[in-house]
Amino acid sequence: MLELDQLQLQMLKEVADLHGTPEGAYNIRSDSRSLGRRSTANIDIVPKTDVSGLDITIKPFTKNESLHIPVIVTKSGLKETVYNDFHVGEGAKVLIVAGCGIDNCGNQDSQHDGIHRFFVGKNASVKYVEKHYGSGSGSGKRILNPVTEVYMEEGSSMEMEMVQIKGVDDTERTTLAELKADAKLVVRERLMTHENQRAVSVYDVKLNGTHSSADVVSRSVAKDRSFQKFDAKIEGNAECSGHTECDSIIMDEGKILAVPGLAANDVDAMLVHEAAIGKIAGEQIIKLMTLGLTEQQAEEQIINGFLR
């Protein structure tokens, strides 16, 4: 059994929905060291020797297994960069849960930069969940800059759930993907910023193979004086289909910038971008207030439903 203190347990619950030692393979990192690691017969976790990070190998045709690799930062002033490579074998079907939580109670900035590279084998299927969370009463910032690279072989699929709802002061999230024939990528991003927080999401997806497809959808809420930028580009280099969508609620003095990018380099590339930014409709709030909610409760109910 892992020995975790109350703060570590709380952070793991927030970023990975864990309530103790996870089943299956895992590596739990806290303040630049591993609290515990377990490989399985089908999932092998090996620390890198040249940089901080892991090499993770998932055997071909592994079915319905999970891997948890959450990160916790609790020391004010700690800054780290971690490199994790995932090699997913042909025909495998796995769940990978990552995510990072920073609790900063000091006056120095804390920062975690995670570079994840996925090599998804032929006909393999991956569900990837990445949640970011910040807490702590200190004046130091909580900074997260994840980079995700995805290289997908023929017939593979990857579903990515990218969530940041609370407490992260500054983030730049970059996702790069290259898809071969019949590969399918689905991304669902949920994001909320408040106070003076800043969040930039960049997606660059190359559809190189025949009948490859990508569906990238972001839902976000910008409160107070926060700033968000959604920069999504899909490049169609074959007969393929691509869709990006930014659907955002703006409140108070928030600012949101949506930057669509579509590059069709093949006559049979079908690419679509949609964007909508607006405030909560007054009639929605009034309707909920007639049911007994206060204006603030009505707003929270609408936002929770929007980001679900």
CA distance 161 to 186: 9
Bridge-partner residues for 241, per DSSP? 213, 270
- Domain ranges, residue 174: 6-281
Lowest mean pLDDT among 21-35, 91-105, 263-277: 21-35
Mean pLDDT value across the chain: 95
DSSP code, position 146? -
Query: Is 33 inside a domain boundary?
Result: yes
**Main-chain phi, psi angles of 209, to 5 degrees:** -105, 155
Q: Tell me the Cα Rg of the chain.
A: 20
pLDDT over 70 at 57, yes or no? yes
Counting the structural domains of the chain, the total is 1
pLDDT per position as a tens digit, 265-303: 999 999 999 999 999 888 888 888 888 888 888 888 889
CA distance 64 to 297: 40
How far is 212 from 16, CA to CA, in rounded Å? 30
- Residue 308 within any structural domain of the chain: no
Rounded CA separation 86/89 (Å): 10
Residue 176: pLDDT band with limits 50, 70, 90: very high
Which of 56-65, 208-217, 238-247, 297-306 has the weakest average pLDDT? 297-306
Residue 289 lies in a domain: no
pLDDT, mean of residues 107-111: 97
How sure is the predictor about 77, in pLDDT bands with cuts at 50, 70 and 90? Answer: very high
Helix 282-289 to helix 295-307 angle, to the nearest 10 degrees?
A: 120
Q: Tell me whether residue 299 is in a domain.
A: no
Residue 287 domain-assigned (yes or no): no
Domain assignment of residue 306, yes or no: no
Q: What angle do CA 13, 306, 9 make, to 5 degrees?
A: 5
Residues 6 or more apart in contact with residue 183 via CB below 8 angstroms: 120, 152, 153, 154, 155, 156, 157, 209, 212, 213
Evaluate if pTM is beyond 0.85: yes
Domain-located, residue 298: no
Instruction: Report pLDDT for 112.
Output: 97
Instruction: Judge whether residue 236 has pLDDT over 90.
Output: yes
The pLDDT value given to residue 292: 87
